């Protein structure tokens, strides 16, 4: 466990066991929250699991839904989220709302998560990056993990210089992943990043296309899922690029064309959008304005936070609460939904929209 996750768990445990999350919730909790998920599946990860945060177990999803129903918290669609924010209302029962969202379009969302959500009559939204469906984009972060997992050492070109990277044990693999991730997301532009990964995958015999096909829904699977009245399909660009690292013309095309492809394939224009990666270096004020200009009712980030009434003026910069593999206990969910942990993370700012 990283020090950051350990420290955050200490904070959430303190808030939960002290009862602060209950006492201060009327002040800190806002109107409700949008939950962010990726994979739902049973996963036996070892000590090298750099993407473990992207997976929760089916049992944790069910525990979360049971908790929300016990608390009489409204589980609502993103359409209803937009209406609630516009009205500034929590709900008729005085409880905050929760919306459940999934990023990317993984097959386990349809095969594992959707049946559980139907059992609890819970609406959900899946934000689909179309290139991950049709093969014009790769799950490069999973590809990097697969490459490092298979090797004891790597020869890689960094800033034009060939370097040897130690991958001889789990600690070294984790450090190597972090080092290369930093290089790929800060030193290379988005297209160079993908070329770099493809070349490394070819060299070390990792089939990125097979990896993608095993993980992602096909268009036919998406069409079937889109027929579920509880399901909303949202847009998530074409290539899953960090939009803030593109020029305005490129970013506009990624947003607009990703939505257009979804409309052509599924017969309905998406009204909601999720920024790939979604942290400040990947999506900023310009990108929020682009999503608004292109007509989306809402757009969500990965910036941590709950929804406040003042978000009505920032409908394309909405925060989310990550329901992820590092925090699979209901007490963490309860603390997070109080808004207190994310207020602390945001230096007591209720809005983080710049």
Model confidence pLDDT, tens digit, residues 51-99:
999 999 999 999 999 999 999 999 999 999 999 999 887 776 778 999 9
Residue 24, in any domain of the structure: yes
> What is the enclosing helix (H) or strand (E) of 336?
helix 330-337
Residue 351, in any domain of the structure: no
What integer pLDDT is reported at residue 295 of this predicted model?
Answer: 97
Question: Residue 150 sits in which domain range?
Answer: 140-210
Distance CA 278, CA 171 (A): 28
Rg of the chain, C-alpha, whole Å: 20
What integer pLDDT is reported at residue 318 of this predicted model?
Answer: 98
Residue 350, in any domain of the structure: no
Residue 165's DSSP bridge partners are 154
Going by DSSP bridges, is the β-strand pair 153-158/161-166 parallel, antiparallel, or unpaired?
antiparallel
Domain stops at, among 161, 191, 210? 210
What number of H helices and E strands is found in the chain?
A: 17, 12
What integer pLDDT is reported at residue 89 of this predicted model?
Answer: 73
Residue 264, in any domain of the structure: yes
Whether residue 252 is found in the same domain as residue 170: no
- Helix ranges (DSSP H) in the chain: 3-18, 20-23, 25-28, 58-70, 78-87, 107-108, 114-119, 130-134, 140-150, 170-186, 190-203, 208-215, 219-226, 248-266, 285-293, 330-337, 340-345
Domain stops at, among 165, 190, 210? 210
Whether residue 226 is found in the same domain as residue 205: no
Whether residue 205 is found in the same domain as residue 338: no
Distance CA 219, CA 289 (A): 30
What integer pLDDT is reported at residue 45 of this predicted model?
Answer: 65
Q: Are 107 and 161 in contact (CB under 8 A)?
A: no
Whether residue 226 is found in the same domain as residue 118: yes
Domain stops at, among 181, 210, 239? 210
What integer pLDDT is reported at residue 1 of this predicted model?
Answer: 58
Whether residue 173 is found in the same domain as residue 131: no
Q: Are 154 and 147 in contact (CB under 8 A)?
A: yes
Whether residue 121 is found in the same domain as residue 225: yes
What integer pLDDT is reported at residue 88 of this predicted model?
Answer: 82
Q: How far, CA to CA in Å, does 223 sit from each of 3, 52, 77, 128, 132?
A: 42, 28, 19, 12, 15
- Of 297, 249, 289, 254, which Cα lies nearest the Cα of 273? 297
Residue 352, in any domain of the structure: no
What integer pLDDT is reported at residue 28 of this predicted model?
Answer: 82
What integer pLDDT is reported at residue 8 of this predicted model?
Answer: 80
Per run of 10 residues, the mean pLDDT along the chain (length 354 residues) is 75 83 80 97 84 96 97 96 88 85 98 98 98 98 97 94 96 97 97 97 98 98 98 98 98 98 97 98 98 98 96 98 93 92 90 92
Residue 354, in any domain of the structure: no
Q: How many domains does the chain have?
A: 2
């Amino acid at each position: 466990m990283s020090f950051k996750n350990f420290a955050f768990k200490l904070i959430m445990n303190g808030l939960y066991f002290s009862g602060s999350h209950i006492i201060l919730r009327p002040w800190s909790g806002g109107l409700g929250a949008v939950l962010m998920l990726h994979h739902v599946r049973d996963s036996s990860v070892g000590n090298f699991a750099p993407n473990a945060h992207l997976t929760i177990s089916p049992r944790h999803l069910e525990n979360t839904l049971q908790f929300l129903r016990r608390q009489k918290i409204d589980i609502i669609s993103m359409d209803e989220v937009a209406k609630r924010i516009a009205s500034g209302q929590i709900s008729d029962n005085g409880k905050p709302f929760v919306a459940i969202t999934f990023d990317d379009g993984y097959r386990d969302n349809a095969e594992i998560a959707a049946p559980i959500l139907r059992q609890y009559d819970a609406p959900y939204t899946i934000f689909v990056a179309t290139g991950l469906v049709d093969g014009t984009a790769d799950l490069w972060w999973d590809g990097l993990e697969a490459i490092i997992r298979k090797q004891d050492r790597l020869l890689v070109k960094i800033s034009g210089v060939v370097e040897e990277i130690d991958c001889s044990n789990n600690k070294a693999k984790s450090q190597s992943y972090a080092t290369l991730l930093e290089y790929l997301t800060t030193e290379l532009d988005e297209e160079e990043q993908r070329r770099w990964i493809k070349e490394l995958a070819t060299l070390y015999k990792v089939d990125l296309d097979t990896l993608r096909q095993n993980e992602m829904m096909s268009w036919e699977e998406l069409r079937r899922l889109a027929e579920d009245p509880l399901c909303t399909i949202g847009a998530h660009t074409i290539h899953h690029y960090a939009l803030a690292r593109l020029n305005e013309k490129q970013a506009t095309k990624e947003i607009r064309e990703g939505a257009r492809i979804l409309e052509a394939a599924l017969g309905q224009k998406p009204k909601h959008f999720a920024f790939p990666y979604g942290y400040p270096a990947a999506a900023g004020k310009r990108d929020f304005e682009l999503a608004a200009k292109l007509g989306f009712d809402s757009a969500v980030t990965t910036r941590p936070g709950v929804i406040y009434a003042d978000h009505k003026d920032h409908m394309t910069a909405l925060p989310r609460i990550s329901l992820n593999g590092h925090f699979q206990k209901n007490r963490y969910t309860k603390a997070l939904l109080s808004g207190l942990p994310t207020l602390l993370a945001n230096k007591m700012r209720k809005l983080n929209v710049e």
